[in-house]
Amino acid sequence: MKTARNGQASPNGHYRIRSIDRALTILDAFDSLRPRMSLTDLCQATQLPPSTAYRIAANLVHRGYLSQDSGRGDYWPGLALIRLAGVALGQLDVREKAAPTLKELRDDSKETVHLAALDGRRVIYLEKLEGLHAVGLMSSRVGRTAPAHCTALGKALLAFGDGDAEEDVISRKLERFTPRTIVDGALLRGHLAKVREQGYAIDVGEHETDVRCIAAPVRDHSGKTIAAISVAGPAQRMEVQMGRGLIKDVVAAANRICRDLGYLGDAPRSQEDGSERTTVGRRDSRDERSGRTR
């Protein structure tokens, strides 16, 4: 079995990095019976040599994954773990809460439905319900990522986020995937402003040539945009679907998920039918930056 420096292949073929494995072993040693441990306790619990345990614990303290008493030297789980736990729980919660609505939207539209979150300058697919038609064209998979600037999901998340991710994406070179991909930062900024105004985002073959997609943002109980949902399908079918009110259906589904997550803000319909815009993704006025309302 092949091995590599500071790592080895496990019996099931998965590659293990020894230093990371040891760091996780230290974190796993803490529980309700051992919420705080000295270096000696850590060594006994993990069977690691004192010098190794000390070096790894010091790095974990530096990154916030462990805290340390400056007097006694005891260690305990750090606040960085709480942040990660909150992220994980939040994603589990939105998947669970969104599941019935996503299924209903898929069954009604018969097209593929996605749930995704923003991951840096990309979106990560949290859920995918395949369409009911025989042929599927999309490369999306749960756990995979796609660029935010040219997908409806990504544009919804950028437009209705806190603004930082939008600025980060716009400030960088935008990759072209199809002739329709927006690769000019100023044009993308204007496009995202329109997305905010109308309450939803559309991808007209900007990432995959023959695919059309409609997306709307999802907010949690605090009003923060944490995800987006979409309906996607072949261009010809989707153009017919949009003419039958699919945009309103997607926005309404996003609003229902927001309510299920405890968001109590108003959620009027989208501008697709001439009514006032949806507020599931409005940026609060307190988030104004550079003279822009978000």
Assign residue 125 the CATH number of its domain.
Answer: 3.30.450.40
Q: Which pLDDT value is given to residue 131?
A: 87
pLDDT at 86: 73
Q: How many domains does the chain have?
A: 2
Q: Assess contact for 63 and 79: CB atoms under 8 A.
A: no
Q: pLDDT at position 196, please?
A: 94
Q: Are residues 146 and 9 in the same domain?
A: no
d(C-alpha 280, C-alpha 101), whole Å: 16
In a domain, residue 138? The reply is: yes
pLDDT value, residue 292: 42
Host domain of residue 69:
3-77
pLDDT at position 294: 37
Residues 16 and 130 both lie in one domain: no
**55 & 173 share domain:** no
Which domain-ending residue is among 29, 50, 77?
77
Rounded to whole angstroms, the Cα distance separating 269 from 265 reads 13
Give pLDDT, residue 153: 97
Q: Looking at the structure, do residues 9 and 49 belong to the same domain, yes or no?
A: yes
* Predicted pLDDT at 47: 96
- Same domain? For 125 and 235 the reply is yes
Q: What CATH number corresponds to the domain at position 10?
A: 1.10.10.10
pTM above 0.85, yes or no: no
Look at strands 211-219 and 7-9 and give their pairing: unpaired
Give pLDDT, residue 293.
Answer: 37
CA trace torsion 130, 132, 138, 141 (10° rounding): 10
- Amino acid (one-letter) located at 100: P
Mean pLDDT, consecutive 10-residue segments, the chain of 294 residues?
48 72 95 92 96 97 94 92 78 86 93 92 90 72 88 96 91 93 94 95 92 93 92 85 84 93 68 43 41 39
Contacts of residue 114, Cβ cutoff 8 Å, sequence gap at least 6: 125, 127, 128, 129, 140, 153, 215, 229, 230, 232
At residue 192, the pLDDT reads 96
**Residues 72, 163: one domain?**
no
- Are 95 and 68 within one domain? no
Co-location of 224 and 273 in the same domain: yes
Looking at the chain, list the stretches that DSSP marks H as alpha helix, in order from N- to C-terminal side. 18-28, 39-46, 50-63, 79-109, 152-159, 164-170, 185-198, 235-243, 246-260
Token pair listed for 42: 């850590």
Q: Is residue 292 part of a domain?
A: no
Same domain (yes/no): 93, 46 = no
Please check whether residues 69 and 194 belong to one and the same domain: no
Residue 217 within a domain: yes
Which of 77, 97, 115 is the C-terminal boundary of a domain? 77
